[in-house]
Amino acid sequence: MNMQSQEKVVSGLSGWLVLPVWLALFAMAVWKIIGVPVVGEGVPSVPAIISIPLLMFISKGFNILQPNQAALFTFFGRYAGTMKDDGFFWVNPFYAGQRISLRVHNLTTPTLKVNDRAGNPVEVAAVVVWKVADTARALFDVEDYGTYVVIQSESAVRAVVSARWYDGDTHGLNSLRGDMDAVARLLAESIQEHVLLAGIEIVEARIAHLAYAPEIASAMLRRQQAEAVVAARTRIVDGAVGMVKLAIDQLESESVVKLGESDRVKLVINLMTVLVSDTETQPVLNVGKE
């Protein structure tokens, strides 16, 4: 993509040096018109008359810039340069100037409905922190750089979300919900690529809102609950098996009781019932031989 505009810096004279000279010339011109200046029959001289409009035109060159503010100047339609230094300056009065803010802006995208990589509709919104880095591109290469940032940010959010899974793939990778830092970096890089034409610098971008769309939210909640129950049960079973093995090994190593194969089976069943069951149980153990 070709960048038509390139920022260049223009400097001006200190306004505090030019202002006294201008005031002196203005006072002199007024004095000549009002005080003495008669040519022939009391008509003010032509130079004295035209000096006032000329001085007023020269005064158009005075500019005051606030911190983090820039002024772009054009000279009869051609880009002349950008002034970024804050203070009081005087520039060519033929320049046409336009102010642009260099301050940091916050943008919150509207809540978008996007399908993640698995095809599940999710609602997502992002917070984007940006500022103007190249004033010439921002002003001359796009129609409205503020609107441009909004539209391109939404486009980048859609691209990032659609490339990842809400909860991750089968290995839990590329998750939108579980890897927010990586998503933030990817989102900032993606938006930066989108707004490079407008001379915008992305300072930071983060997901501000992320949730399943209402039509599948309840189903996904039940799925998450089921996965949590399965994970909890798996841990319970693993622990119960270890406890049963430890109990049998300790009973046999200390010769507390001699267990046959059928007795082992019954003991395992009863212990697993006690350890795994959700409700209180009262097993009957029969470890003796008939």
Mean pLDDT to the nearest integer, 248-260: 70
pLDDT at 39 over 50: no
More confident call, 166 vs 139: 139
Q: Cβ distance 32 to 44 under 8 Å?
A: yes
Span 113-129, mean pLDDT? Answer: 89
Q: Of 172, 167, 168, 207, whose CA–CA distance to 187 is shortest? A: 207
State the Cα–Cα distance between residues 133 and 196, nearest whole angstrom: 10
Among 256, 264, 254, 261, smallest CA distance to 285 is for: 264
- Read off the pLDDT band of 34 (50, 70, 90): confident
Segment holding 147, helix H or strand E: helix 145-162
pLDDT of amino acid 169: 65
